[in-house]
Amino acid sequence: MNSTANQRNNDIAEFVQSNPSYYQTQFDHIGSRAGFTWTFNFIAALLGPIWFGMRGLWNWGLPFVILETMAVIQLGRGLFGDLGAEARQRIVDIEGTLSFRNQQLQAAIEKQSDKIEVFERTIASLETAIADIANEAALADASASNVALLGLGMLVVIKILEGIVANPALEKRFSLWLSDRSIVSGLSAQRNAVTVSFVLIIFIISTVHFAFPGLLVWLSTFPTDPQIRLTAITGIETAFSFVKSNGRFVFDSISLGIRVVLDFLEIVFVGSPWPVVACFIIMLTWLSAGLGAAVAAGCFLTYMGLFGFWEKAMTTLALLGTAAMLSICIGIPLGLFCARRPRVYSVIRPIMDFMQTMPSFVFMIPVIAFFSVGKPAAVITTMIFGGTPVVRLTVLGMRGVPDSVREAAIAFGASRWYILTKVDLPLAAPSILAGVNQTIMLSLAMVVVASLIGAKGLGEDVLEALQYSSVGQGILAGFAILFCAMILNRVVQGKRD
């Protein structure tokens, strides 16, 4: 028993490094009771967020930095600030207007104009406003002591709260440290310097900015030179022009490939007789998802035909099918390749993060610069936006295949191709199909955006409805897009839950 207690005390001393006897007592007190235990750490209350940062407890330190900064700002405004400065600036602005109105009044009196009374009423109103704002400024100046007391009260309450939560938070960190020694422990000169510098910079700059507005202009306006932006714009445009002029063959080849697939799908969906297309879609839905889904698909197609959306809906399906097909044909092999090569995936993953986080209207700019406006540009934009889920979920599904199953197949002499086609892909199929479904749905979400750069289809109707505030047209076209999404979802997802 004594050896266990001694070991615990040694661990606490190694963890805290400073004042170990105090923390041994506090940790024993906290650990002896269930639930929250009331303790108070005076050093933590005195140093505030600096103490929490020095101990690596930034999940508490950052909120306390914000709270103490607010309290210090109020204290600084009350003690040193000019609370009526904004009101007095408004008086100065109104006095300029008042001077101009007085000049107009004098001119009207000299000309015996019929607007004399109008100017007199305006001047009287401005004088009243000045008087009211002057009273407001006086009240603001008089409230300085209350603002300072409010800041002081907030600071005291925050300090008490910091002292109360410090020991339990550190004891929780100690419990985690016992099982994971990589967790930050003790004190280090570098962490202390960073913490003190960070907190003081936040306190000082925030207090100066709010308590003495206008004292340091560069605090409100970032010090920069417009020429920096102009130089960057020129450099980017030069780089794009160089790539476009020297890579014309590559861009034309990509556009041609997209155009071949798109033209084929447009012939299938748009050029074919509508009964043929409708029967094909209904049969495909029935085989994939059952009779109920086929009936629903028939109703959706009837809606599109009755309201005049048939051709645009088929154009949308052709555009979407091209983007989704290319995304899937590229994404699944890429996901299979990355699943067994972590280094390659570590390079691909930031690129996909960039593709998903960059707003669609931003990456449309380089696409238009390289491929001009039209359907190929719309397909590429859709692929950029919706092509990443199939890669991610393919990698996830492949990594989720149990190693024991693969090892058993290898033990029985299975080839790599057999393992891929008979083991990996069947077991990863649910995740891969989920990625395909997500890619199709995200691609459909780009229908309206793609219409901005020359894509035809249902997105045009929605875009026109937004431009001309045509509620009815927008709602009808929106339901058509929804029904396209539901049909595709049932075809891809099938009968799976």
> Over the stretch 159-168, which tens digit does the pLDDT of each residue have?
999 999 998 9
Residues 196 and 295 in one domain: no
Evaluate whether 390 touches 352 at the Cβ level (below 8 Å). Answer: no
Find the angle CA(363)-CA(368)-CA(370) to the nearest 5 degrees.
100
Residues 264 and 275 in one domain: yes
- Judged by average pLDDT, the poorest of 9-18, 75-84, 223-232, 427-436 is 75-84
Residues 162 and 290 in one domain: no
> Over the stretch 478-487, which tens digit does the pLDDT of each residue have?
888 888 878 8
In this structure, how many other beta carbons lie within 10 angstroms of the beta carbon of residue 244? 15
In this structure, how many other beta carbons lie within 10 angstroms of the beta carbon of residue 428? 24
**Does 226 fall in a domain?**
no
Residues 284 and 327 in one domain: yes
**Does 233 fall in a domain?**
no
Evaluate whether 402 touches 370 at the Cβ level (below 8 Å). Answer: no
Residues 171 and 189 in one domain: yes
What is the rounded CA–CA span in Å between residue 374 and residue 386? 18
Residues 150 and 112 in one domain: no
Q: Model confidence at 497, in pLDDT bands (50, 70, 90)?
A: very low
**Does 236 fall in a domain?**
no
pLDDT at 157 over 90: yes
**Does 251 fall in a domain?**
yes
Residues 262 and 206 in one domain: no
Average pLDDT, the chain: 83
Residues 92 and 22 in one domain: no
Total domains, the chain: 3
What's the half-sphere exposure (Cβ side, CA atoms, 13 Å) at 207? Answer: 20
- Judged by average pLDDT, the poorest of 20-29, 103-112, 208-217, 314-323 is 208-217
**CATH for 279:** 1.10.3720.10
**Does 443 fall in a domain?**
yes
Residues 98 and 23 in one domain: no
Q: What is the span of the domain harbouring residue 448?
A: 244-493
Q: What is the mean pLDDT of residues 145-150?
A: 86
Tokens of 452: 């901005």
Tokens of 276: 């043929």
Q: Model confidence at 156, in pLDDT bands (50, 70, 90)?
A: very high
- Judged by average pLDDT, the poorest of 56-60, 141-145, 386-390 is 141-145
The model's pTM is: 0.67
Residues 454 and 329 in one domain: yes
Q: CB-based burial of residue 249 (10 Å sphere; 0-12 exposed, 13-18 middle, 19+ buried)? A: exposed
pLDDT the model gives residue 496: 52
What is the rounded CA–CA span in Å between residue 245 and residue 340? 38
> Over the stretch 109-126, which tens digit does the pLDDT of each residue have?
877 777 777 777 888 888
pLDDT the model gives residue 221: 75
Q: Which of 219, 341, 110 is nearest to 333 (CA)?
A: 341
With a pLDDT cut of 90, the percent of the chain lying above it is 7
Q: What is the largest CA-CA distance in the chain?
A: 112
Residues 170 and 316 in one domain: no
Residues 317 and 438 in one domain: yes
**Does 126 fall in a domain?**
yes
